[in-house]
Amino acid sequence: MCHRRKWWPGLPGLLLLVLSTTCIQARAQVPTTGFTIARVQYDGGGDWYSDPSSLPNLLRFIGANTTISVATEEARVQIDDEDLFAYPYLYLTGHGNIHLSDQQVQRLRRYLDAGGFLHADDNYGLDESFRREMKRLYPSKDFVELPADHEIFHCHFSFPRGLPKIHEHDGSRPQALALFEGERILVVYTYESDLGDGWEDAHVHDDPEPSRLAALRMGTNIVVWALSR
């Protein structure tokens, strides 16, 4: 099981959010009370809005399979929005190019350094620009692959082999990669798995039901793990 500890130092209101699973009401962007995932809107031409049914489906699954009180819809946030720090969990995906301004790079780094969490999901075509932008945030850091025995694969549902392969664009091996600050993970990057496709409505990608269930379970693990840090 995941062990809870303070994960957002200096922001006790957001710690309360994690412990009580009640979202801070920040402007009109939080759809309802309860934990929500904030989808990052970015510039550069990539489709940040891809897989539109994915996050609502994941949130419903989390609500049905954990004790976390969830919102019914995702939030959407730009890095330079005033309410960025109201969201403990950011999600970024797409097929194309990502570009962050210098100001956004500095702000996202402040968010992560303060205890925020980013999950990026490779929707095929994202990889090159995402790695480039992460190097702008943390020039001295490299992604590290999380081994199959890492807690993220076992804190709610069990994945003995690590990150599952969901959507078969190619035969490359799926990897769960992370950027660390000491022992704390700042960013989880799910590469060559395409969890978001598996979270989508069943008819969209025609992924087999076992793959969709694996995607929803893995997404749940990432959320449970992140909120328990």
CATH number corresponding to 12-227: 3.40.50.12140
Task: Give the model confidence (pLDDT) of 19-58 as tens digits.
Answer: 333 333 333 344 458 999 999 999 999 999 999 999 999 9
Domain edges within the chain: 12-227
Q: Which pTM value belongs to this model? A: 0.86
Alpha-helical (H) ranges within the chain are 12-20, 54-65, 102-113, 127-137, 195-199, 202-205, 209-227
Q: pLDDT at residue 1 above 80?
A: no
Strand order in the sheet with 175-181: 75-78, 38-41, 89-94, 117-122, 184-191, 175-181, 144-145
